[in-house]
Structures are given as C-alpha cells and as structure tokens.
Amino acid sequence: MFHGSSSAFIAAVITCTWLLGSSVAGYTINSGTTACKPIPGDRNWPTTAEWNKLNATVNGRLIATLPIAHVCHAPWYSEEACQTLKSQWGVAELQTSQPAEFLAPWFQNQSCTPFEGEDSPCNLGNYASYSIKVTSSKDIVAGVQFAKEKNVRLVVKNTGHDLQGKSTGKGALSLWTHNMKDMKLIPTYQSDYYNGPAIKVGAGVQIADAVTFAADKGFRAVLGSCPTVGVAGGYSQGGGYGLLASLYGLGADNVLEWEVVTVDGKLVKATPTNKYSDLYWALSGGGGGTYGIVVSMTARVFEDGPVGSANFFFGTASTGSTEAYWKAVGIFHNHIPALVDQKGIVLSYSVSQDTFILYTMTAPDRTKDEVVAILNPLVSDLETVGLNLQTMALNTSTSSTYSSYYQGSLEPVLAVSPISPVAGDRFISRSNLADNAAGVLKGFQDVTAGGNFTLACTALNVNKSHIVKPAAENSASPAWRDALATCIIGSVWSWGQPWDLVLEQQKEYEQSVLPAFEAVTPDAGAYANEANFAQNDWQATFYGENYPRLKKIKARYDPKGVLYGVNSVGSEAWREDGDGHADEHLSREQLLFVSVRTFSKSFQLAYFFEVLLRSQILRQPLSSIVTCRRSASLHPKPKEGAFAAEGFLGDLGAGEIGLPDANAQSLILFGGLPAYYAVSRPGKKAVDLVIGHESTRLLVAAALVCWFGYGIWLAIYRLYLSPIASFPGPKLAALTGWYEAYFDLVEKGGGQFPFEIRRMHEKYGPIVRINPDELHIDDPEYYDVLYSTNKAYDKLKRFQHRFSIPEATFSTVKAEEHKIRRSALAPFFSKAKVRSQAASVQALMDRISEKLSREYTGKNKPANIQDVWSALSADAIMDIVFAKSMNLYDYPDFRSPFTTAVNSVAVYCHITLHFGFLLSIINNLPDWFAMRVFPPFVPVIQFRWEMERQIADVLAKRNQGTKQIGRKTVFSEMVASDLPQHELRPERLLQEAQSLIGAGFETTAWSLTIGTFHILDNPSVLSRLRAELEEVMPDPQYILPLGDLEKLPYLTAVSKEVLRIAFGGVERLPRIDRTGTMTFEKWTIPPGTPVSMDQYHMHTNERVFPEPSVFRPERWLGDPKGPDGVKPLTNYLTTFGRGTRMCLGLNLAHAEIFIGLATLFRRHELELFETTRRDVDFHTEYLKAAPWPGSTYLTTNNMWPYSQGYKSAKFRSPLGFLQHNNETL
C-alpha cells in the first residue's frame, strides 16, 4: 500500500545500512557477447590493422568511404566541382556507379550533400564506412566472414536504388556488387520446370544493360522500367514489375535459378527443385539482401516482337474545371480493369491535383491500329467531360522491338528523374476499385489536395491466370495477384529547398496522406521496394501471408541476423538507436520488484534490490554494463540450499550502472547481506539473484527494521517534502493509500471512491490530492489539455497488473511502447474498417431479433436484456478479433458462460488493485487448485481458457473462420506485423486478447442496457424514436445501412445521451508527464505526477449538462454548444476518453449502438418489467457505473411485425456487474 517516493525509501535504507554494519558481499557481472553492431568510435570497432588485413584478403579492393559531395565541404571545397555536382544531384546515374552512394535522400539526411554549405561538416552519417569492390564470390565470402567475426553490420549494394535505405547503414561494411557485369544467353535452358531460352546476369547488371543485351540476341527480358536499377538485386528479389508484367508476370515469376553466397560462406545454386528450393522461393520475391548475397541470376527470356503504345495527358486547363478534371480521372480508373485484362496491357501514368499524364500504354505484340481500338471506349467516355483527341494530345505508335519501344518511352524519362525524399507505395486492388471506385478517386484527391504529393502509378494484371505461367512458385506478395495498380506516392520537393520541408512532408505522409489512401484501399498491400520506411504494418503489407514462412527461411540461412535491412524479413529483431547502432530489439526489463520465494512461494519482499541498484551505493562509478541494452550475463552458480529472488535488470540509462571495462568485474554492494550471486537463465532475460540460506534470519530482521524506519520517513516525506505536498486535499489521503482502499473496499460495500473524490472537490476546489501520489481535476475545460492528442503521456503503473494483463496495449505504462502496440491494432478499429463490417453486426442483430420474436413473442416470458446485448457485442468483437462468431445468441435465454465469465471480472477490480499479490498467487497455482481455493475467480480462469484456445488457433493457423471467409483478423495481422518478436509471444497475445474481448463487448453491452431502460422509461422519447424509425424504414425487415442510420437526427441524439448517462467507464484515468510540468490555473504540477479526470465528473457537470440525471436526448439536437457558447456540446462527451489512449473500440461501439437500437425499437414493442431507476442509477464503481446492490431486472415487451400483427412479450434483464476494461482507463 506504499506508493511513495524512492528518495524517502533511500533515506530509510541508509539508516538500515548504518544499523546493520559494514560487511559487504559482491557478485560478478560479465558483459558477455553483445548482438549490438559497433560503429566507429566504439571500443569493439575493428582496429586499423584488422581493416588492413581484410583489404589484403580482397586484394586491395577495400574502399574507405568518402562521399562524392565532399567537394562541397571544407577542407575539400571546390566551387566548380560543387556546382557540377549540384546540377546532377538526385539523378540516379550520378550515384549508382559509386561504391557507397545510395539513392534514398531521407537516409542521406543531409550528412554530406552539395547543399549544406562549405563550412558545414561532411559526415558519413548513414553511409557505410567501408565497401568491398566485389569481383567474385571469394570477395563476398571474405566480407561475410569479417562481418561475422567483428560483429560489424553488413549490407549489400549494387546501385543503391532503395527508398528504405537497405543498401546502406551507419558503420556498415558494404558488399559492392556493381562491377559483376557478366551476361550470358542460354539458348536452351533445360530443367524439370522450364525448357527454353534464358539469360544469366551477374549481380551488378542493370536493367538498361540487360534490355540491350537481350534485344541483340532477338529476345525481350522481363525487367523493370528504371534503366539504372539492378536486375538481380532488389528488383527481382523483391518481386519486380515492369512494362511487360501483364504478359509475362513479375520479375520473380521468371527466375530459374540463383547463385548465392550464404551467410555461412558457401556458394550454392538455388533452384525450385534442388535442396535449396526454400532459398530459391525466398529469394524470388521475399526481399533483397536478406537471405544471402546473390552472385548471379538466371531468368527466362522471350522472343522479341512489336510493341504498340499510346500516351496522352489532360488537366484542369483542358477539362475546364477541377470538377471535370477529377471526373476524367475517375473515368480513366473505371476503364483500368477492362484495359489491363486484355493480354499484356500495362498503363504507366501519374496524377497530381491538376494534371493527369499517361506516360505510356504498353501493348506487346499489337499494332498502332489495335491500340486505337483498345482505347476507343475510354476516349469515348472522356469526351463526356469535354476532352477529345486533340485536347488530350493522344499519340499512338508501334515499335518493332521491345528495346526500341523502351528506349523511346520510359527509359529517357526515368533516367533523369530525381528521387523524392518522401515516398511510399500502395496497391489498388481489383476489389478496391470494384467495390469503392468513388472512394478510390476521393483517395487520389485527398493525397494530392495540398500540392505536396503526386502519384505515379502502374496499372497491370499479374494474376497467375492471366500471365504466362510462372517458372515456379515464389514468395512475391500474394497481394500482387489481385492488384490493378501500384502507386508511388511521392513528395514535391527539390534539392536546395529547406530540409525542414522534408520533415514536414514525412510527417504529413505518415499522419495524413498514407492513412487516407489506405482507408480507401483496405487489404491491398504495397510494393516493398518502393514503400516508405515508416509503414506501420509492413510485414502484412509487403509480404502478406508469406511472412511466417519467409521468417523461418531467414532463420535457417541467417540465424544471427548478419544481413539486416530496414523492413526486411526478420528485421523486427533489430533496431537502430540514436547513435546509429543496430542492436537486437530486446525490451528493457524493469527492476521494480523482487519476489523472494521459498518452495511454497509464500512471501514477497518488495523494493529491496531496487534500492541496491538505484540508491547508487555502489563501489564503482557508473557507465554501461550493457552495450546497446544487451542483457548482462551474471555468475557464479548459486550455492546449494539457497533460495532465489527473481530480479529484472534494465531500464537503466547511461551513467546509472556499469563497469570500467568489458571484462568480468565485481560490484560491491552494502549491508551485511553475504553471499549474493546472480545466474543467467537460458532463454530468459531475467536473472536469479540468490541469497545464501545462512543470512535468512539476518535478512528478516533487517527487513523489519527497514520497514519501520521507512514508514516514519515516508510519512514525513508525503506530508511535508513531496513535490505535491502543497496541493489541497485530506491529509489522511496524502499520508496513505489505505484511504483510497477504504472507499474502494469497505464503505457501503466498496466502489465509493468516485463519490468521495466529488466530496473532496466540493470542499477543496477543482484540483485535489486524492492519494499520496495522484492529483484529480474537476474542470471540463481542462479535459482536452490533459488528454491531448499532441502529447503522449504514461499511464499509472499501479493500474497495470489489476487484471493480470500487464502487457496488453490497454495496460501498457510507457507512452512509447503503447504507441508501438496500439499502431498494430488501430487499423482494425478504424471507422472505415468498422463500416466495412457493419453488415456483419447487422446480421448478428437480425439473428438476435429473430430469436426474440420466435421465443418471446406471445409467451409472457421475461428476457435478460443485458444478456441480449452482451451476445451482440461479444460476437461482434470476436468476429473482428478472431473472425469467429461464438453464436452466443443461441444459448438459452441468451445467457452464455463466456459472457458471464467476463461480466464477473470487474467485481474484483478493487481487490486486485490494492492486493495485487493475490493475482500473483493465483497465477502461480494450477488452475484446478486455484478454482477450488478461490471460487470467485472461476469465471476469470474460464475466460482466460477461451482466449488461450483462440490464440492457439491463430498461432497454429487453425482459425477456421479466417480460412473460410478469407479475410484478415486482428491477431492474424499482429502475428505478421512489424511488432518485434517479444511482442508476439503467446502469453502477450493472450493478454491482448483478454483485453480486447473484455473491453470490446462489456462496456457497449452495458451502455445499451442502460439506454434501453431510459428509452422505455420515457414514453415521449420512445414515441419520437419509433416515429423516426418507422418513417425512414417502413419495412421493419429492412434496416438502413450504418451510414444512413448515423444521419437520423433523433437516433443520433438518443445514442449520444445513452453514452452520456451510461458514462462508459467511471474510473479515473491518470496520465503522467515524465519530463515536463503541467499547469492548471495557478498550480504548477511537477513532472512525473499522475493527474486524472473521469467521465463521471464530466458527464454530471451541471454547467455543461443541466439536470444531468435526466435522460434528455433533445439536449443534443440542432447545434448545441458548451458553457462558453463556442465549443460544441460533443466536446464534453468523453465516454471513450481522448488523446493518444482514446478507446480503440469507439467506432465499433457506435456501430453496435446505432444498429442495435434501430433494429430493436423498429421491430419490437417493449415494456419494462419490475425495473426502476434504482436498478440502473450509479451507486457502485466497478470500473463501470454499477447500480445499487440487489438490483436485478429490466424487462421489455417484444414483437417483430410479421404477418401476425403486433403482440407483446415480456423481457427481463438483470443489471449485474460488468468488467470495464476500456483502453481509456
């Protein structure tokens, strides 16, 4: 129950140290082997002698990096050379032939470009430190071995064409394969899977070279559009599309074999049928520079022939208006399916806010006249918006060969096109365009609206049923096969403009542009080679369902992650810190608790070892034990007869704890506690601190003395020395957390603290200290300040473990970690996503409605309305999370064990908050024993069992719902997301599932229950609602779509009033600003102070909501304002919270409320049965606003007007306790 400051605790410990004497004990810590990649200046960076030795091994072909832009910086500055460089900068050909240069302006980051000024330094930044000019596989083997031995980052570069910076890296050794230019025609390649002509190209061959070589031999190769891109590198390894894709497929579809050096130094040949077939599959579409270093590639070629083509453009000038322009763009996109479904057609075009350009339509083996005929339907439709052949400048032609066509169309354009610093990619799928053409067009408008971004798209059809059959199965993203277009979204910027503009554009891309386009292209995917590095869900977006298999292959051929690239397969195991180190992405364990266990695990000792490390009573100065956050290895082994104390080391910043060198070194602790040891455990980042049994009695005595002294110091500290000691509030509340516990657990049966907080505000004012650590504010105008979207705050740690789901997004304490976890979930609860699944919610409600009519109409039988709504909400959230409805409405009287289990959890929320060790004990007991000893927790355990089954299905790919409907779910996507592997452990996924399902149905079901009562208890409200529903839905069997329901004014008002009076959650929502102060009126709130508000105080504020206890939907009609007459009244409706931790499920809750109320009250006549306000009014806080003890029933009359006419049946609904596990808590 002590939540006080560590400084008071330290003082108490110092007192104990003096009492206990000066005997000391030590333990040894080894830095061990680190997986962090060093950079120049680190202790473990290779020495000059070691680099020289590597240089000798590769026959003098090791090149130290000096950026070509050094001529624009002192001391190398040359005016003439710099001006020449400026005029060419950004054009690919300038940099593709240089060893360490790369074409990713974002990653260049102005470390050494021609535009910073002569006096600015030329830093390597993200440039590789050294490059090996590779001429053979032996050079590659030497580089790989050196990188492994010295733990140096290794990258592979041919031309450096990569928007995500995979071909470079700070402190890296680069394998520069650009000079491996061999090409060979194989007239008849013979194998089990292909017999015919092929071309073998070295790793350094570029597209323009290969086009010319194949043409000279009478063939056309399947290649990309940009002439300077490498053929065998990221292009083919990433999938690769081009102007011939609609005829012959992707680049990866045509690969026959790979010669590759594996990370263990072997040169192997990977084909679809030999023992390296898995490596072949991964290399053919699974991403470049990831599984091995390619030496050469052999691919199919095809007999050359004529190519027909066309190009045109139009804009606002030729259409006469912006509206007509966008209509023309829409017409073009409506014709894309018909065009690309004709054999071989590929369309290369761009769209800006005022100009559309079809750079070329590629029509292999067609004449000019055939091209005209193909385009006639499109041209005819474009004439309806005022365009014609002349205003469009339509040009058609025929080239005799593919190479002559290519060299006269896109090659000269792309050869001189600069690379945009902010760019990304998104597919438009066939279903996107078929189901939502208007939405896709709106997406183009939204992306280009500000003038900062344009789209460069290629429309194509690479479905396997359309193209020449692929040479073999490959790992190209399955999303390609349904794609109608791939669009690069690029920023409008040029070198010489302020770099701050780039930063702003990247922010705009991440926060506005990409989300807008993703919203209208759901499940479409993206092309990894052209995507933005900040793509959140990159595993699913780039690799789709192939990702798990690719990851296994990565683990087989590169188990230690020698080959790393941004957003490449397996890269989530690594990260780059602020200095540029690449290190394994391990969570930083918290040393906040030490559990000292006997064999019966019967007692705990809190805080003890936190003091040992955090009080800094150590012998050594503090630097860094762990290079780049790597867990330390501790030894020797524990003595026999000892008992273990599990401690977690980490979260210790630079300068907090460390060793003077990399070798084993003792740290001397204090305190007369002999024989401390620490032992690493394989596979765990935790360590066991072991205390010798001979010190047990001394430890117990010391703990008692320390505890007594600690209590005295703590009382003085909290009342007089605490940073929040001057804030108003009861002294007893400031002194001890037992004050809060009394109102949570004892007063009127518990759950009374919100009412006590209200009494505090009435006595002390709008800001009060409600416990030793926390402040509470009652001022509606401050809500958007505390719960701001512009500032990410931490959550109060003591709330983290109350439901035994500390790793769920909802429970996550640190803002940074919360953001990562939330980003993996948020897309599934977006408004667009929920809209797309609204039909499923309606189908559930239809089945519920049918059962009510069938089983209750005319039977005078009361129904449990809470169980009815729980069935709807639980099945809806299960469908989104697992694609698996549990059909809970089928249970007798709608009452299922599953919903009962979840609804029972919240009753124990205060017990687990104040006595968290009970959960620890229960979690460490066998389930059968825990259920027998702690019967109240049986529903909790049963709920966990169900979630374990669901997670096991996901991990084992046994989720039949997903297979049958063929769509993604929250957890199938999480498993394939960019979350690091420790985030995808089954136990963490289980906690996430418990959180999502608990929060996803309980709160909404309770709100619908409360809302049903108030509608039925107010005849005028019921009459007006029914009248509106009957007017717009004369046929009760047809319920309007969600979007139309949301436009009904009175239904909308009712829904808002339901959310207001039901509160959602009534528990306060503490937020913590770790680094800055907050200000409220005259008060300055110190950093690290929990500050909270809550929905109860917001929704019952009489200044904002006059007569707050009255259910009055009319208060929401029209355009109501808040107390200041300016802010809309909805600004004060905070059911779902606000800010970065706003409830994820708000859109789903809105959908269920609109659909549920509309269906129930349009189809059924209802009446209350033995239910009064006492049964619904807020009396007890169990996270939600629970009613008076003993409240049981809500009853309604039912009827679905089939041909029988209106009848009535009674419903009965107990208002029991529900868990509120909303993320806003």
Mark whether 293 and 329 lie in a shared domain.
no
Is there a contact between 211 and 429 (Cβ–Cβ < 8 Å)?
no
Residue that has been written with the tokens 């007893």 in this structure: 732
What is the distance between the alpha carbons of residues 178 and 161, in angstroms, rounded to a whole number? 12
Strands of 1041-1193, DSSP E: 1071-1072, 1078-1080, 1083-1085, 1091-1092, 1180-1182, 1184-1186
Q: If residue 170 lies in a helix (H) or strand (E), which one and from where to where? A: none
What does the block give as tokens for 1107? 């007569």
Position 729 in a domain = no
What is the distance between the alpha carbons of residues 170 and 38, in angstroms, rounded to a whole number? 9
What is the distance between the alpha carbons of residues 96 and 158, in angstroms, rounded to a whole number? 7
What is the distance between the alpha carbons of residues 637 and 463, in angstroms, rounded to a whole number? 60
Q: What is the three-class DSSP state of 625?
A: coil
For 1023, phi then psi, to 5°, come to -65, -45
- Collect all residues with Cβ–Cβ distance below 8 Å to 997 and sequence separation of at least 6: 874, 877, 878, 881, 902, 947
Which among 708, 814, 714, 818 is positioned nearest to 773, based on CA atoms?
Answer: 714
What is the distance between the alpha carbons of residues 131 and 177, in angstroms, rounded to a whole number? 10
Q: If residue 1057 lies in a helix (H) or strand (E), which one and from where to where? A: helix 1049-1062
Which among 237, 247, 105, 245 is positioned nearest to 165, based on CA atoms?
Answer: 105
Mark whether 69 and 203 lie in a shared domain.
no
pLDDT at 842: 95
Give me the amino acid identity at 355. T
What does the block give as tokens for 669? 């602790």
Is there a contact between 678 and 672 (Cβ–Cβ < 8 Å)?
no
Position 351 in a domain = yes
What is the distance between the alpha carbons of residues 41 and 35, in angstroms, rounded to a whole number? 17
Instruction: Pick left, alpha or beta for residue 177 (phi over 0 → left; psi -120 to 50 → alpha; otherwise beta).
Output: alpha
pLDDT at 1216: 24
Mark whether 918 and 1026 lie in a shared domain.
yes
Mark whether 839 and 915 lie in a shared domain.
yes
Q: Is the dihedral of CA 733, 734, 738, 740 positive or negative?
A: positive
Is there a contact between 140 and 175 (Cβ–Cβ < 8 Å)?
yes
- Collect all residues with Cβ–Cβ distance below 8 Å to 685 and sequence separation of at least 6: 586, 587, 589, 631, 648, 650
Position 748 in a domain = no
Is there a contact between 517 and 447 (Cβ–Cβ < 8 Å)?
yes
pLDDT at 578: 62
pLDDT at 943: 67
- The CATH number of whichever domain residue 382 belongs to comes to 3.40.462.20
What is the distance between the alpha carbons of residues 361 and 311, in angstroms, rounded to a whole number? 6
Radius of gyration of the chain (CA): 34
Helices 897-905 and 986-1017 pack at an angle, to 10 degrees, of 90
> Which residue range forms the structural domain that includes residue 641?
23-31+588-700
Is there a contact between 1060 and 1132 (Cβ–Cβ < 8 Å)?
no
Strands of 469-543, DSSP E: 483-491
Q: Which residues pair with 189 in a beta bridge?
A: 196
Which among 1195, 426, 634 is positioned nearest to 863, based on CA atoms?
Answer: 1195
Residue that has been written with the tokens 């592997």 in this structure: 981
Mark whether 360 and 275 lie in a shared domain.
no
Position 789 in a domain = no
Q: What is the three-class DSSP state of 176?
A: strand
Position 482 in a domain = yes
Which among 715, 774, 591 is positioned nearest to 8, based on CA atoms?
Answer: 715
Q: If residue 870 lies in a helix (H) or strand (E), which one and from where to where? A: helix 865-882
Domain count of the fold of the chain: 5
What is the distance between the alpha carbons of residues 442 and 434, in angstroms, rounded to a whole number? 14
Mark whether 922 and 1069 lie in a shared domain.
yes
CB atoms within 10 A of CB 881: 24
Indicate the residue among 286, 304, 322 that finishes a domain.
304
Q: What is the three-class DSSP state of 1213?
A: coil
Indicate the residue among 304, 324, 351 that finishes a domain.
304
CB atoms within 10 A of CB 135: 16
Cis? peptide before 636, omega within 30° of 0? yes
Residue 274 to residues 200, 233, 555: CA-CA distances in angstroms?
Answer: 18, 22, 19
DSSP letter string over 720-757? IISTTTTS-S-HHHHH-THHHHHHHHTGGGS--HHHHH
- The CATH number of whichever domain residue 172 belongs to comes to 3.30.43.10
3-class SS string, 1151-1193: HHHHHHHHHHHHHCCCCCCCCCHHHCCCCEEECEEECCCCCCC
What is the distance between the alpha carbons of residues 489 and 453, in angstroms, rounded to a whole number? 7
Indicate the residue among 304, 328, 357 that finishes a domain.
304
What does the block give as tokens for 365? 């083996």
- The CATH number of whichever domain residue 242 belongs to comes to 3.30.465.10
Mark whether 279 and 218 lie in a shared domain.
yes
> Residue 37, class by beta-carbon neighbours within 10 Å (0-12 exposed, 13-18 middle, 19+ buried)?
buried
> Residue 41, class by beta-carbon neighbours within 10 Å (0-12 exposed, 13-18 middle, 19+ buried)?
exposed
> Residue 751, class by beta-carbon neighbours within 10 Å (0-12 exposed, 13-18 middle, 19+ buried)?
buried
Mark whether 949 and 1045 lie in a shared domain.
yes
1143 is in an annotated binding site: yes
Cis? peptide before 75, omega within 30° of 0? yes
**What is the distance of C-alpha 157 from the center of its chain?**
29
Is there a contact between 488 and 425 (Cβ–Cβ < 8 Å)?
yes
Which among 945, 949, 940 is positioned nearest to 922, based on CA atoms?
Answer: 940
Mark whether 88 and 190 lie in a shared domain.
no
Q: What is the three-class DSSP state of 1147?
A: helix
CB atoms within 10 A of CB 395: 13
Mark whether 259 and 397 lie in a shared domain.
no
Q: Long-range contacts for 267-270 (Cβ within 8 Å, ≥24 apart)?
A: 267/137, 267/141, 267/295, 268/292
Position 1210 in a domain = no
Position 346 in a domain = yes
Mark whether 1038 and 1156 lie in a shared domain.
yes
What does the block give as tokens for 1106? 């006059």
Task: Chunk the chain into consecutive blocks of 10 residues (it has 1225) and report each block's average pLDDT, rounded to whole numbers.
Answer: 38 34 27 63 91 95 93 92 88 86 84 88 91 96 95 92 87 94 96 96 95 95 92 94 96 97 96 96 95 97 96 93 96 97 95 94 95 96 93 93 88 73 94 94 94 94 92 96 95 81 90 94 94 92 95 94 91 74 44 27 31 32 27 28 28 27 26 28 31 54 82 92 95 94 91 95 97 96 90 87 84 90 87 89 94 85 88 88 81 82 73 79 73 66 75 64 56 76 84 82 89 95 96 95 95 97 91 90 94 96 95 96 92 93 92 96 89 87 79 39 28 27 23
Position 403 in a domain = yes
For 358, phi then psi, to 5°, come to -90, 100
Mark whether 266 and 122 lie in a shared domain.
no
Is there a contact between 959 and 519 (Cβ–Cβ < 8 Å)?
no
Residue that has been written with the tokens 């010798």 in this structure: 692
What is the distance between the alpha carbons of residues 653 and 659, in angstroms, rounded to a whole number? 13
